[in-house]
Amino acid sequence: MRFKLDGVQVTCDGKFGASYKSTVGPDANITFYSGWGDNALDFQIFTYATTDIMPGQYVFGPGKAYFAQLWPNGTLTTPGIHYSYEAGSIISSPSIPGSGQITITEINADYIKGSFDFITGVNAATGLFKTVTNGEFLIKR
């Protein structure tokens, strides 16, 4: 996974993962993530459907359960306070923080591949938002 965070190139170096394709039932909910140092980025797509998630664009918006969460200054594995920044929603909510999209170009039982761009909502504690552009991922499931 790689992307630009507020204009600075980031290449993830570890903690790669994606939810497995279930052998029973639809592949309708997917989580995938990666990290760089102690920082992390994860995505969730919940369709609440009875069919598999297919290649296509998943735009964050009201009533959609598409979500990105970013920890650009460390996670809970290091001492201190580490704020997260969010775009989209993990539930079908009428309002969402930020904006953006995840595009899946390939998905199967072995891997998920695509791109992403998003702007987070403002974090209430820091008063800041984060911009993520030119994101690409190829993650083994």
pLDDT in tens, 26-81: 888 999 999 998 899 999 999 888 888 999 999 999 999 999 999 998 887 767 78
Task: Report the share of the chain in percent with pLDDT over 90.
Answer: 68
**Which residues, 6+ apart, have CB-to-CB distance to 24 below 8 Å?**
none
Tell me the H-state helices in 8-134: none
pLDDT value at residue 49: 82
Tokens of 74: 């460390």
pLDDT at 123 over 80: yes
What strands, in cross-sheet order, belong to the sheet with 85-88? Answer: 14-18, 29-36, 39-46, 65-71, 85-88
- 130 against 14, higher pLDDT: 130
Domain count, the chain: 1
Query: pTM value?
Result: 0.90
> Residue 124's domain spans which residues?
2-140
Which of 134, 120, 109 minimizes the C-alpha distance to 86?
120
pLDDT value at residue 94: 84
